[in-house]
């Protein structure tokens, strides 16, 4: 297993020097400054790579091996007129990355918004802060702040009633903060930041879009990308929709095992792979993570290791838990990933996903979910599990 670490580039408060200290060997990164839909020029990729490798010394080498993510322009997801230019650009970026040796590419196909939370500083009893998604707050935003047309039909009467009380109990600052958290998006997102009006417009473009149509648009996109990926030995790794269910009345199509079956049926190429984001898939009680790790064995090129604790009454509400103490059987997942590697004779990239905000990191600014110490704790715990399983098997 290659231990990787996400680095947002020179503006990331967590420096390459700190990453080096965690013992990670591989860097997951992207050219975040390039506008969505534009080509990543080979020179810029080369320079980014050089920056990562510049202070390498024997015994401490970092390499950029995984791209997370090349954003997919919404026009591609909509198959809007003129979207072919964006597909061509996406393929050109892939070719330029491959030419520089970056051959694992994470991406997602979430309409309008990327990963979403409602609370970026949820205090746990031991004093750390975690990311949280609260379905009631989300509904309050959708119904009473965004006032989305026809939103009522997506909620039961009881949910609407609860959302109204949640909304009424929120201070004006709280409402503004929630709005910003949802529509401005989080670091690492692959969609635009919106104003409330732009957001309504972006959603409206999808009105009437069915799951089948969105799936067909993904398959058509991949139909053009995969032959190039095959020729260049590039592995694509689609990231699931986070949270993994429909939001704002528009379809999300990478949420479950069945969704993945449909994806591979539409495009069987071996380069059509996935990012097993354990935390995202694990946000649904009907996703059995060790079973998925086994089932999609030869499709998993990259894994995000983290887990959530789901609400007892409302399972769509979740808080990001300690890496080994969530609702997901993390040890079971890691065991399967190790078995997969042995069976296939190849190593995958894993990274600790999201960490709690803790200790000294509480005194500085870091990107939500992307603290240094919390992620290092996650990585250290995962590393321990990997080592223990690998050694025990040998005894
Ligand atoms: C959040 C991440 C996402 C992810 C993109 C992948 O922490 O999982 O930003 O990188 O959705 O395309």
Q: What does the pLDDT read at residue 336? A: 98
- Residue whose CA is at the smallest distance from ligand 1 atom 9: 188
Residue 283 Cα to ligand 1 midpoint, Å, equals 15
- At 395 the pLDDT is 67
Q: What are the b/e assignments for 306-328, b being 16+ CB within 10 Å?
A: bbbbbbeeeebbbbbbbbbebbb
| Packing angle, helices 257-266 and 211-232, rounded to 10 | 60
Q: Which residue from 73, 188, 370 has its CB within 8 A of the most atoms of ligand 1, so it is best to mutate? A: 188
The continuous run of DSSP H or E covering 237 comes out as strand 235-238
- List active site positions: 239, 277, 304, 353-354, 370
Q: SS3 of 349, please?
A: strand
Ligand 1 centre from 314 Cα, in Å?
A: 24
Strands (E), 48-146: 63-68, 104-107, 119-123, 129-133
- 3-state SS record for 5-53: EECCCCCCCCCHHHHHHHCCCEEEECCCCCCCCCCCCHHHHHHHHHHHH
Which residue among 68, 237, 281, 308 has the greatest number of ligand 1 atoms within 8 angstroms of its CB, and so is best to mutate? 68
pLDDT at residue 259, rounded to an integer: 98
Residue 394's pLDDT is what? Answer: 72
CA torsion sign for 388, 320, 17, 274 is positive
Q: How far apart, in whole angstroms, are the C-alpha atoms of residue 254 and residue 110?
A: 8
- From the alpha carbon of 107, which atom of ligand 1 is closest? 12
Instruction: Give the number of the atom of ligand 1 that is nearest the alpha carbon of residue 277.
Output: 8
Q: What is the maximum alpha-carbon separation in the chain?
A: 63
Task: Give the helix/strand (H/E) hosting 384.
Answer: helix 373-394
Atom of ligand 1 nearest to the CA of 186: 9
**What order do you get walking across the sheet with 318-320 strand by strand?**
119-123, 129-133, 318-320, 308-310
CA-187 nearest atom, ligand 1 = 9
Residue 38's pLDDT is 98
List, in order, residues 6 or more apart from 20 with CB less than 8 Å away: 55, 60, 62
Q: Cα(115) to centroid of ligand 1, in Å? A: 6
> Which of 105, 114, 185, 303 should be mutated for ligand 1, with most atoms under 8 A from CB?
114
Structure tokens of 332? 């079971």
Question: What are the pLDDT tens digits along the chain (395 aa)?
Answer: 999 999 999 999 999 999 999 999 999 999 999 999 999 999 999 999 999 999 999 989 999 999 999 999 999 999 999 999 999 999 999 999 999 999 999 999 999 999 999 999 999 999 999 999 999 999 999 999 999 999 999 999 999 999 999 999 999 999 999 999 998 877 788 778 889 999 999 999 999 999 999 999 999 999 999 999 999 999 999 999 999 999 999 999 999 999 999 999 999 999 999 999 999 999 999 999 999 999 999 999 999 999 999 999 999 999 999 999 999 999 999 999 999 999 999 999 999 999 999 999 999 999 999 999 999 999 999 999 999 999 987 76
* Residue 249: closest CA among 186, 201, 215, 203: 203
Closest-lying ligand 1 atom to the alpha carbon of residue 370: 7
* CA of residue 186 to ligand 1 center, whole Å: 9
Tokens (6 digits) for 22: 């965690």
* pLDDT for the residue numbered 184: 82
Q: How remote is the CA of residue 169 from the centroid of ligand 1, in Å?
A: 31
What is the enclosing helix (H) or strand (E) of 159?
A: helix 157-169
Q: Quick one: which of 243, 219, 240, 4 has its CA closest to 104?
A: 4
Cα of 68 vs centre of ligand 1, distance in Å, is: 7
Which residues form the pocket of ligand 1, taking CB atoms under 6 Å from any ligand atom?
A: 68-69, 106-108, 114-115, 188-190, 239, 277, 354, 369
């Amino acid at each position: 297993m290659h231990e990787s670490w996400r680095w947002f580039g020179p503006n990331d408060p967590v420096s390459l020097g700190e990453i080096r200290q965690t013992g990670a060997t591989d860097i997951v990164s992207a050219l975040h400054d390039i506008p969505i839909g534009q080509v990543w020029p080979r020179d810029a990729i080369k320079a980014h790579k050089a920056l990562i490798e510049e202070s390498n010394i024997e015994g401490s080498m970092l390499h950029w091996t995984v791209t997370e993510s090349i954003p997919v322009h919404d026009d591609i997801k909509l198959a809007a007129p003129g979207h072919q230019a964006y597909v061509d650009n996406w393929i050109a970026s892939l070719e330029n990355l491959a030419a520089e040796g970056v051959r694992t590419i994470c991406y997602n196909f979430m309409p309008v918004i990327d990963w979403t939370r409602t609370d970026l500083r949820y205090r746990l009893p031991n004093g750390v802060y975690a990311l949280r998604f609260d379905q009631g707050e989300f509904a309050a935003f959708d119904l009473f702040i965004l006032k989305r047309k026809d939103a009522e039909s997506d909620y039961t009467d009881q949910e609407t009633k609860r959302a109204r009380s949640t909304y009424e109990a929120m201070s004006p600052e709280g409402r503004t903060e929630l709005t910003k958290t949802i529509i401005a998006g989080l670091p690492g997102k692959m969609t635009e930041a919106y104003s409330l009006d732009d957001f309504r417009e972006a959603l409206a473009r999808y009105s009437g879009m069915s799951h089948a149509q969105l799936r067909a648009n993904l398959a058509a996109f991949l139909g053009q990308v995969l032959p190039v990926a095959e020729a260049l030995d590039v592995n694509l790794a689609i990231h699931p929709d986070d949270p993994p269910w429909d939001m704002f009345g528009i379809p999300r199509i990478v949420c479950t095992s069945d969704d993945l079956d449909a994806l591979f049926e539409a495009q069987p190429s071996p380069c059509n792979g996935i990012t097993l984001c354990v935390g995202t898939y694990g946000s649904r009680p009907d996703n059995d993570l060790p079973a998925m790790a086994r089932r999609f064995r030869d499709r998993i090129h990259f894994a995000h290791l983290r887990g959530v604790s789901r609400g007892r009454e409302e399972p769509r509400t979740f808080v990001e838990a300690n890496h080994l103490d969530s609702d997901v059987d993390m040890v079971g997942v890691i065991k399967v990933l190790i078995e997969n590697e042995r069976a296939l004779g190849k190593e995958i990239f894993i990274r600790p996903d999201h960490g709690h905000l803790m200790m000294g990191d509480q005194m500085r600014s870091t990107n939500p979910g992307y603290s240094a110490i919390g992620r290092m704790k996650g990585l250290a715990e995962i590393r321990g599990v990997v080592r223990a399983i690998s050694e025990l098997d040998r005894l």
